[in-house]
């Protein structure tokens, strides 16, 4: 038995070609205009590829996989080496930090409400509230 991973054992990315292409372009940090310039096509062509209205020819597919840092099989079929989507994990970390801070503020607010209620109980007779 070989230790080499088999790409067909991977769970495929079931997005469309356009969806995978768009994510790979974003992960590579390229705008549609920049990628169009590098490939020698119009921005509208890139938009058509990303919205699944058309697909690039075989020569451009090979160039795309190299420029975007993904395997050709991933672009076409969702199996293989996909983009490194670090931006997403950075967003997840920031989101998690904000959620943790919000929970802390919630606890602090609860304590503050309890202190205010205790202070009011000492100052205002029970029938006044």
Report pLDDT digits (tens) over 71-84: 999 999 888 888 87
- The answer on pLDDT for 129 being more than 90 is no
* pLDDT level of residue 99 (50, 70, 90 thresholds): confident
Per-residue pLDDT, averaged over 97-104, amounts to 85
- The answer on pLDDT for 123 being more than 90 is no
Tens of pLDDT, residues 10-42? 678 888 999 999 999 999 999 999 999 999 999
Percent of all residues in the chain with a pLDDT value above 70, rounded to a whole number? 83
pLDDT at 85: 56
d(CA 7, CA 76): 14
CB neighbour list of residue 43: distance below 8 Å, 6 or more residues apart = 32, 33, 36
pTM of the model: 0.60
End-to-end CA, the chain = 77
* pLDDT level of residue 62 (50, 70, 90 thresholds): very high
Residue 54 has which token pair? 């058309």
């Amino acid at each position: 038995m070989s230790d080499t991973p088999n790409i067909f054992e991977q769970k495929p990315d079931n997005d469309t070609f356009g969806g995978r292409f768009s994510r790979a372009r974003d992960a590579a940090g390229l705008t549609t205009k920049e990628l169009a310039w590098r490939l020698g096509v119009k921005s509208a062509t890139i938009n058509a590829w990303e919205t699944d209205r058309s697909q690039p020819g075989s020569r451009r597919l090979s160039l795309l996989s190299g420029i975007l840092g993904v395997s050709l099989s991933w672009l076409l079929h969702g199996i293989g080496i996909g983009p490194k989507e670090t931006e997403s994990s950075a967003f997840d970390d920031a989101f998690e930090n904000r959620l943790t801070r919000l929970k802390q503020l919630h606890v602090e607010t609860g304590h503050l409400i309890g202190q205010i209620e205790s202070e009011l109980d000492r100052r205002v007779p029970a029938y006044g509230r």
